[in-house]
Amino acid sequence: MTDSTKKSEPECSSKGLNRNHLKYLAIFAMLLDHIAWILSQYYYDQPWDFSLTVVFRTFGRLTAPIMSWFLVQGYLHTSSKKRYAIRLCAFALISQIPFSLVRSNSPWGNELNVIFTLLISFLILCIIDSALDTTPKVLLTILLFALSVVCDWAIFMPLMVLVFYLLRDKKRGLIIFYSVLSLLVVIADITILCIRGYHWYWELWQLGMFLFIPLLLFYNGEPGSRAPFHKWFFYAFYPTHLLVLWIVISSLRA
């Protein structure tokens, strides 16, 4: 290998967190969050459960921002936005029955899973970058935001995606706007709790969304291993772990 060849190769940094690190962290956080949800549904009368639920759900708040961040990265770097959207749609449909079973013990729930929310967010980015006039862009964007109301992480995930996309080259501004959005999530959940007559501090684990900020600062922008396994594992994990959780919940109900 010549010196000129060596110079043409990009150097890989071993410091920080790469894409695969963050994706697997999101998967682990999601699993803990959903386990905590089961604990809160069936064992909330146990003194240890509240503390464990708070820890698990606080850590679980990492999943949505990491997913939103990499949706933007996928949008920016995909070779085919059409195939990307089709893939999101396919796995959203595959995941819907397991998601509904976990949420309502019925295959026909009244809420769509988070991959539908990611799909809506992806379509919003496509509309923003399209050649449409301003008025159709605004109307279609509002329509998609309204559609997200029937999805998991309604409104907030599309907003996160927009913040990450529009401020992708301005990290300081991105962190400020993300922090404001995270605070709004906390305030909204506390408000809903108070309206329903619950203690306001029961949803303070939503502050776990701020844990994404140090991860973003440590993200080195590198992909990690490009093995196909890493690309497909998240898609497969989501419906599979929901199905396993439903089996566990069914056994608890029996």
The mean pLDDT of 177-185, rounded to a whole number, is 95
Report which of 2, 61, 6 is spatially closest to residue 28, judged by C-alpha positions.
Answer: 61
Supply the pLDDT for residue 254. Answer: 67
Mean pLDDT lowest for which of 72-86, 157-171, 189-203?
Answer: 189-203
Is the Cβ–Cβ distance between 152 and 114 less than 8 Å?
yes
- pLDDT, tens digit, for every residue of 80-137? 999 999 999 999 999 999 999 998 889 988 899 999 999 999 999 999 999 999 999 9
**Is the four-CA dihedral 52, 54, 55, 60 of positive or negative sign?**
positive
- pLDDT, tens digit, for every residue of 37-92? 887 776 555 555 667 888 999 999 999 999 999 999 999 999 999 999 999 999 99
Would you give the distance in Å from CA 112 to the centre of its chain?
Answer: 14
Supply the pLDDT for residue 39. Answer: 78
pTM for this predicted structure? 0.89
pLDDT band per the 50, 70, 90 thresholds, residue 251: confident
Supply the pLDDT for residue 253. Answer: 74
pLDDT band per the 50, 70, 90 thresholds, residue 196: confident
Supply the pLDDT for residue 7. Answer: 40
Amino acid identity for residue 106 in this structure: S
User: Which structure tokens are listed for 18?
Assistant: 């790469």
Mean pLDDT lowest for which of 28-32, 46-50, 67-71, 250-254?
Answer: 46-50
Supply the pLDDT for residue 14. Answer: 60
pLDDT band per the 50, 70, 90 thresholds, residue 9: very low
Report which of 139, 100, 99, 144 is spatially closest to residue 121, judged by C-alpha positions.
Answer: 144
pLDDT band per the 50, 70, 90 thresholds, residue 22: very high
